[in-house]
């Protein structure tokens, strides 16, 4: 097909879709639509992971991001009753400046990468490192301590989120008694 | 079959996704959308880590992505809890209004 392999076609299509959906996340007015476009972007990125032979990460990415985090976002948006486009626009100058800064950043990055003409090919087809067995071995031997720290971090985040999100009855009762 | 894609393409794709996230953080007022753009930036970095991990045939990069996902989940949980508390007290999550820190 026009001299490209099927992997290259897949890469092109997935990249195009990811960038389009990411743009829609930023430019859609309705927050709910924005969340749904972000889910689609995450699915495209999971497709990239599959293309890179990182199967475990692709599955975890879909479960954690599209399954858990995005549900949390949708839940909060519904809770705050923001599902209409109630957001006032920023000033036009601010948005222009944001676009200009982004464009300049892109220009600098592309310019910096243009000089390095080392076109190293990514060889993903034969590698086995993305499999659960292999990653589990590395995770539980080399990275055992960071893994435990991550569990403590998740516990702390759990407790913190509950403490912050709880309605503070203590202060209210004090105010009423005073 | 070999994955015949130059690493530069992945770098470009990650850079573009990251910059879309940066522009979203600067151009939007809704705090939840800003959170989502931060997630987009994290994912751009994750994609590049996985690409380089495959390039060098080294599993450390993918383990690192795993940790980044755990930290992102913790960050989102705490951040959304803070946002919901802010909304309960101020009835808005517009950052231009919240930036005054009073009233």
Mean pLDDT of all residues in A130-144: 87
Which phi and psi angles does B57 have, rounded to 5°? 55, 45
Mean pLDDT of all residues in A147-158: 93
ipTM, two decimals, is 0.90
Quickly count: other Cβ atoms within 10 Å of residue A86's Cβ: 14
Mean pLDDT of all residues in A26-52: 91
Judge whether B36 is closer than 8 Å to chain A, CB to CB.
yes
| C-beta of residue A24 within 8 angstroms of C-beta of residue B18 | no
- Give the pLDDT confidence score for residue A178 in this predicted structure: 43
Q: Which is more confident, A109 or A121?
A: A109
CA distance B94 to chain A (A): 8
Q: Which is more confident, B97 or A39?
A: A39
Closest chain B residue by Cα to residue A43: B43
User: What domains sit in chain B, N to C, each tagged with a CATH number?
Assistant: 7-98 (1.10.287.3510)
Q: Which residues of B touch A98 (CB under 8 A)?
A: 23, 26-27
Q: Which helix (H) or strand (E) holds B5?
A: strand B5-6
Instruction: Select from A107, A124, A53 the least CA-distant residue to B7.
Output: A124
CA distance B38 to chain A (A): 11
Interface test with B, best of A157, A167, A171, A175 (most B CBs within 10 A): A157
């Amino acid at each position: 097909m026009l001299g490209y392999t099927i992997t290259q076609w897949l890469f092109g299509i997935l990249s195009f879709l990811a960038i389009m959906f990411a743009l829609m996340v930023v430019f859609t007015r309705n927050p709910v639509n924005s969340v749904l476009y972000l889910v689609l972007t995450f699915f495209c990125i999971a497709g990239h992971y599959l293309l890179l032979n990182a199967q475990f990460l692709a599955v975890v990415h879909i479960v954690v991001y599209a399954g858990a985090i995005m549900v949390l976002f949708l839940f909060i948006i519904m809770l705050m009753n923001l599902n209409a486009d109630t957001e006032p626009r920023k000033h036009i100058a601010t948005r222009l400046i944001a676009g200009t800064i982004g464009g300049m950043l892109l220009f600098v990055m592309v310019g910096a990468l243009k000089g390095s003409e080392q076109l190293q090919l990514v060889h993903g087809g034969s590698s086995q490192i993305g499999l659960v067995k292999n990653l589990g071995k590395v995770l539980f031997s080399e990275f055992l301590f960071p893994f435990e720290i991550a569990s403590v971090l998740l516990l702390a985040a759990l407790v913190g989120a509950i403490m912050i999100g709880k309605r503070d009855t203590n202060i209210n009762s004090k105010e009423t008694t005073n | 079959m070999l994955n015949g894609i130059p690493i530069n393409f992945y770098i470009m794709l990650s850079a573009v996704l990251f910059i879309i996230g940066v522009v979203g953080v600067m151009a939007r007022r809704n705090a939840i959308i800003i959170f989502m753009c931060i997630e987009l930036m994290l994912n751009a970095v994750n994609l590049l880590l996985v690409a380089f991990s495959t390039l060098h045939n080294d599993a450390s990069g993918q383990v690192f992505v795993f940790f980044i996902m755990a930290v992102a989940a913790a960050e989102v949980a705490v951040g959304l809890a803070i946002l919901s508390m802010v909304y309960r007290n101020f009835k808005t999550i517009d950052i231009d209004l919240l930036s005054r820190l009073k009233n």
